[in-house]
């Protein structure tokens, strides 16, 4: 009974766009009923009154009894008919869904009224953010780098001259229904033959870009195919962007220049600077519009030098973030990344971003303060606070346990989503008088 009352409240939730049409349906049925009643009344008043109408019109009962029975039977018939009609119509579209129609509609309506969130990054970090956020809002825009040149993406980029689809594919899959067969198909990787190493999703996006004429249109069409919550955009549509780095190699006096995103982590030195070539590229206008209209902007997590900074280095992206007025948060990685951030603290991550794009791009840093040993393995090296570093005094720091139980070197999507909304809620409540570290609550 309690579940039925809860379900009924869902049907009455504002924003579902149901009540107005139900009222119109009731009016239509009422008008139709009045028309039929007029026909019956005309027959009753005629001299040749059919005996069958005595039973149909319940003439042997009192007037109020006839009215009550008619209303009860009418309402019951309408409810049963609508319910069964709904089941018949929706059955082909709900073969793999375990939720009821009203639960799906209620969740969709709630997400569509959620915050406008822009998440900037790439690699394996950004999909984790999206998996957590999509349960709370459908107004999500993921902005990913166009500088990937490794693996399947790199091969397609070199051979066909397309934007690297790998990060785009991963984030589309993260926004889709994880239980959907199409999503698993999208992530399927061929193991042998001429297609060995390629994922179906990469090939699909490449083919769609060729059919539609551009990768941005391919992304829009693919989002509809997978029914994703939100959208995924490249930071730029320019397909010849190359990420380059200046690396300090032990024993060498001069910085070594490394070309290509996939080559940077294996350079064997300390990364001093990354930059894009060519340096005069255009940001994708839709990405700029999404940033300017956002309520919450999330930078990271992900590979600092090869996923996050390549987006921020695109001319116009950081300027849009500064101009947006949104609550902007940097999510620091849980663990260091070999070849990129060996030995880095939270302060080191922040300092690296400031060195490339200047201070004050974000107001808050979300960082992990839990370092579990279970399932961590010997190769996991957690990012420690570096709390004595004065650079952190310029930011609000939100410490929380963000680790995944199965893969503690990665963020748990739900924990991260809760931390992000906690930070946003405090920002909406009003800025503090002084920038202090936020307790993990």
Q: Based on the number of CB atoms within 10 Å of its own CB, is 127 exposed (0-12), middle (13-18) or buried (19 or more)?
A: buried
Query: Is the per-residue pLDDT at 393 higher than 80?
Result: yes
- Residue 107 has a pLDDT of 52
Average pLDDT over all residues of the chain: 82
- Residue 9 has a pLDDT of 61
- Rounded distance, CA 150 to CA 172, Å? 19
- Residue 221 has a pLDDT of 87
Residue pointed to by tokens 């179906």: 200
The two three-digit tokens of residue 222, written as one number: 């693919």
Contacts of residue 33, Cβ cutoff 8 Å, sequence gap at least 6: 74
Residue pointed to by tokens 């064997």: 268
Percent of the chain surpassing pLDDT 90: 45
> Over 333-366, what HEC string results?
CCECCCCCCCCCCHHHHHHHHHHHHCCCCCCEEE
Residue-wise pLDDT for 92-140, tens only, equals: 555 445 555 555 555 555 555 678 999 999 888 999 999 999 888 889 9
Contact 362, 318 (CB under 8 A): no
Contact 147, 261 (CB under 8 A): yes
Percent of the chain surpassing pLDDT 70: 78
- Rounded distance, CA 32 to CA 176, Å? 43
Query: Is the per-residue pLDDT at 392 higher than 80?
Result: yes
Helix axes 19-45, 63-90, angle to 10 degrees: 130
Mean pLDDT of 149-167: 86
- Rounded distance, CA 120 to CA 185, Å? 25
Residue-wise pLDDT for 309-329, tens only, equals: 999 999 999 999 999 999 999
Contact 202, 153 (CB under 8 A): yes
- Residue 67 has a pLDDT of 67
Contacts of residue 297, Cβ cutoff 8 Å, sequence gap at least 6: 117, 118, 119, 120, 291, 321, 324, 326, 327, 328, 329, 362
- Residue 436 has a pLDDT of 43
- Rounded distance, CA 417 to CA 7, Å? 26
Could you give the residue range(s) of every CATH 3.40.50.10680 domain in the chain? Answer: 114-145+287-441
- Rounded distance, CA 109 to CA 398, Å? 30
- Rounded distance, CA 420 to CA 414, Å? 10
* Predicted TM-score (pTM) of this structure: 0.76
Which 3 state secondary structure label does DSSP give 103?
A: helix
Residue pointed to by tokens 């294996």: 266
Residue pointed to by tokens 């089941």: 87
Q: What are phi and psi of 297, to 5 degrees?
A: -115, 125
- Residue 79 has a pLDDT of 76
Residue-wise pLDDT for 168-209, tens only, equals: 988 998 888 765 666 788 888 998 888 888 999 899 999 999
To the nearest 10°, the Cα dihedral for 173, 222, 303, 330?
A: -90
- Residue 197 has a pLDDT of 86
CATH superfamily of 114-145+287-441: CofD-like domains (3.40.50.10680)
Query: Is the per-residue pLDDT at 235 higher than 70?
Result: yes
Q: What are phi and psi of 295, to 5 degrees?
A: -90, -35
The two three-digit tokens of residue 359, written as one number: 């201070």
- DSSP string of 243-285? EEEEEE-TT-SSPEEEESTTTSTTSSSEEEEEEEESS--PPPH
């Amino acid at each position: 009974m309690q579940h039925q009352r809860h379900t009924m409240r869902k049907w009455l939730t504002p924003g579902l766009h149901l009540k107005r049409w139900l009222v119109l349906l009731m009016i239509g049925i009422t008008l139709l009923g009045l028309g039929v009643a007029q026909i019956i009344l005309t027959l009753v008043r005629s001299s040749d009154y059919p005996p069958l109408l005595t039973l149909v019109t319940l003439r042997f009962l009192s007037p109020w009894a006839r009215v009550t029975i008619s209303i009860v039977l009418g309402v019951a018939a309408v409810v049963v008919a609508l319910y069964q009609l709904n089941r018949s119509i929706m059955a082909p579209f709900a073969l793999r869904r375990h939720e009821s129609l009203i639960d799906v509609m209620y969740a969709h309506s709630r997400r569509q009224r959620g915050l406008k969130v822009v998440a900037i990054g790439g690699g394996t970090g950004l999909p984790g953010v999206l998996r957590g956020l999509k349960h709370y809002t459908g107004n999500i825009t993921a902005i990913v780098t166009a500088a990937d040149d490794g693996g399947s993406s790199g091969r397609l980029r070199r051979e066909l001259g397309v934007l690297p689809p790998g990060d785009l594919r991963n984030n589309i899959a993260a926004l889709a229904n994880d239980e959907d067969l199409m999503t698993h198909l999208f992530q399927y990787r061929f193991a042998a033959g001429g297609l060995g190493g390629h994922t179906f999703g990469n090939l699909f996006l490449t083919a769609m870009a060729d059919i539609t004429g551009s990768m941005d249109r391919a992304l829009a069409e693919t989002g509809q195919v997978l029914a994703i919550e939100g959208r995924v955009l490249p930071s730029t549509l320019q397909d010849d962007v190359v990420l380059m780095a200046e690396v300090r190699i032990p024993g060498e006096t001069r910085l070594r220049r490394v070309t290509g995103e996939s080559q940077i982590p294996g350079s064997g030195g300390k990364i001093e600077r990354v930059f894009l070539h060519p340096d005069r590229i255009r940001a994708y206008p839709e990405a700029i519009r999404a940033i300017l209209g956002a309520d919450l902007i999330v930078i990271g997590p992900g590979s600092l030098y090869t996923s996050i900074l390549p987006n921020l280095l695109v001319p116009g992206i950081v300027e849009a973030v500064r101009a947006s007025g949104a609550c902007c948060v940097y999510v620091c990685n849980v663990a260091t990344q070999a070849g990129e951030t060996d030995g880095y603290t939270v302060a080191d991550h922040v300092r690296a971003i400031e060195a490339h794009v200047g201070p004050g791009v974000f107001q808050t840093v979300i960082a992990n303060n839990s370092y579990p040993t279970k399932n961590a393995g010997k190769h996991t090296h957690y990012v420690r606070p570096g709390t004595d570093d004065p650079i952190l005094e310029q930011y609000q720091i939100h410490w929380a346990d963000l680790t995944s139980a199965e893969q503690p070197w990665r963020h748990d999507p739900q924990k991260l989503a809760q931390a992000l909304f906690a930070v946003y809620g405090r920002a909406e409540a009003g800025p503090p008088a002084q920038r202090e570290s936020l307790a993990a609550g």
